[in-house]
Structure 1
Amino acid sequence: MTFPPLREELRGLQPYGAPQVSTEQAPVQLNTNENPYGPSAACIADIATAVAEAATTLNRYPDREHVALRTALAAYLSRDTPRGVVPEQVWAANGSNEVMLQLLQAFGGPGRSALSFAPTYSMYPEYARDTSTAWVQGRRADDFSLDLDAAAALVREQRPSVVLLPSPNNPTGTALPPEAVGRLCEAASGDGWDGLVVVDEAYGEFRRAGVPSALELLPQHRNLVVTRTMSKAFAAAGLRLGYLAADPAICDAIRVVRLPYHLSAVTQAAALAALRHAEELLGRVDELRAERDETVSWLRAQGLRVADSDANFVLFGTFADRHAVWQRLLDRGVLVREVGPEGWLRVSVGTADEMQTFKQALTQAMAEVMEEDAS
């Protein structure tokens, strides 16, 4: 047997992760959809005080039910739905990645399947693989929307235990209309079978005005799960705090697979402090939305295809050799993501100065590539 005795289906695979480049090589980092604006001094001080207080009891295990945090998260989510959210409907973990993994651990597994529609977040099939859940992949239309008739038919045919629907979608930025969520929740249940429909709203706070959250549909569909994160709009990627809202029975089921005391006292304290500063941390969202929309317009004016975006990133193309464009951007100190369908690139929305640098670098990069192609 080859050492180490790794599961056969994992042999030769590379770990997930966006390319990491030092800020010296790429001062403008626009590849991981981070919020470019950090917390204020007041927020930092509040977090430091909360963590210091938590440190006085580090000899004790944290609250494994994270009741205070779930209460605060429920209050925050209630702003996005007229029916409100109660703490019993909320569950949190170390980033939305762990939330998703716990969902697949509890509701996937051998003999079960998970389904999504490509192009979409590249970690989804890895969650399925890691939990020995069969992976079923449908396709999006050329404009990255969902053909609801075809999508519902595939769900009814495959009867997956979990349907993963990011909205806005990563890497395209496409948001789902409410009727899509309701239609697929109905398609995923019936005849003695209930599959979960997980709407991943990691970028939900960036959606355009008039685009509702799937949270509004929770009262109508007991098989609906809506996930969020503090990594993006909350400017807390380093905190690693993701959470979900769902029927309390779903939260209770996740307790069976969660690790004991999976959220540290420090994480809980820092997250609670950040939530106290929600208005401030979310204060730049409108600014980032405006910068995103201006970037979309500018890219289209350059003759490029651009996906409509409700997120804090933009997918653009298409390039005969996208890697050549990506490399030339990097040569000019701008790091974007080479991801999504062939020929496309994704740029995170940064500060106004960062986006101006990106535009200048892209103009030069495309001119160089065109010149080389012509020679």
Structure 2
Amino acid sequence: MKKLVILGAGTAGTMMLNKLYKVLDREEWELTIVDQYKTHYYQPGFLFIPFGIYKKDDVIKPKSNFFPPGTNVIFSPIDRIVAKENKVLLEGGKVLNYDYLIVATGTETRPSETEGLKDKLWYKDIFDFYTIEGALELHKRFKDWEGGDLVMCIPELPYKCPVAPLEFVFLADDYFTKKGIRDKVNIKYVTLMSGAFTKPVASKMLGELLAEKNIEVIPDFYLSSVDNDEKKIVSYDEREIPFDILTIVPVNMGSDMIERSGLGDDMNYIPTNKHTLQSDAFENIFVIGDAANIPTSKAGSVAHFAAEILTENLLSAIEGRPLDAKFDGHANCYIETGQGKGALIDFNYETEPLPGTFPLPGIGPFGLLKNTKINHYGKVMFRWIYWHILLKGRELPIEADMSMAGKYRV
């Protein structure tokens, strides 16, 4: 029997397992998925926890709920991949042989990579919201906070869900307005980018929205260290920004297992063909989601669109055909902007986020780069879609390839 092994049972790995379960002959193929953790987290929901919109129970479910019957599931830390021998070594000495391997081990936060970040103020006045622990602790801190300088800092690229820091400051504006202390809270959006976002059209629209909400943008700030004693962040060019509460996107890196395997770049992401999703180094290894070094967002929507391409290309590889399916870097992100409204961006490798309507030209119902209530409802509905459709590998009425229909250039 031939063996296909998937490393990582997060969003990307679980989607691939469900898609391949439907198309591979189970009398011919043994499907194995490996992950060290048994709990699945709806990571986009972490953003809402500090503001009391979601609770912990809203964002967690057992991973086993989403595995199809007959799957070989192994909960174990992974030691390393021995790619030249088509083997995966697990902690404890167990060896998995494979004919094809899909790596979906994601990306992880590394607060220790920034000097002074994980120090005496960590989870007291310094928080991330990219982990369940950080989001819950920040919720506790916000409950009795009476105001001051709230700094949101982005120190490094790439990181998971590029719009989440924007959403955080928009929701903070809404939260403290409703608490009646917005005039006592100075919200600062500190970023190494030259504006609110990486792409100019979206950056202009989002920058104007930040200004409208009296959120100060401090661009081109390359974080060097965090001073816990004086409560300030310091850039490499020695600029200083004081804070009372600091929220931060810790440096993101791929799994240490990738480094031990000798398969990654200096950030532990696997060099991957951005169109075929095949490893640059090994023909029988494919990479999906945040584990890949492809130049698009590290976001769940990217994994969803890429999963369709990877399924086609894996079947082609198995049958000895050319890998004709091409991933175009399609990403689609709702941006919660507070006050019951949201924005939406849709883009790929070649085309930046543009204004227009989505998914139907002229009809929508969602507005691209527009701040509307219907976009907010799209964000709210996505949690149900995630649990019941995306993870189970079911199809959505949105093509994997980005469409220009409904978009217009400015």
* Common fold: TM-score over 0.5: no
Q: Which has the higher helix share?
A: 1
Higher relative contact order (CA 8 A, sep 6+): 1
Report the TM-score, using the length of structure 2 for normalisation: 0.29
Q: Which has the higher strand share?
A: 2
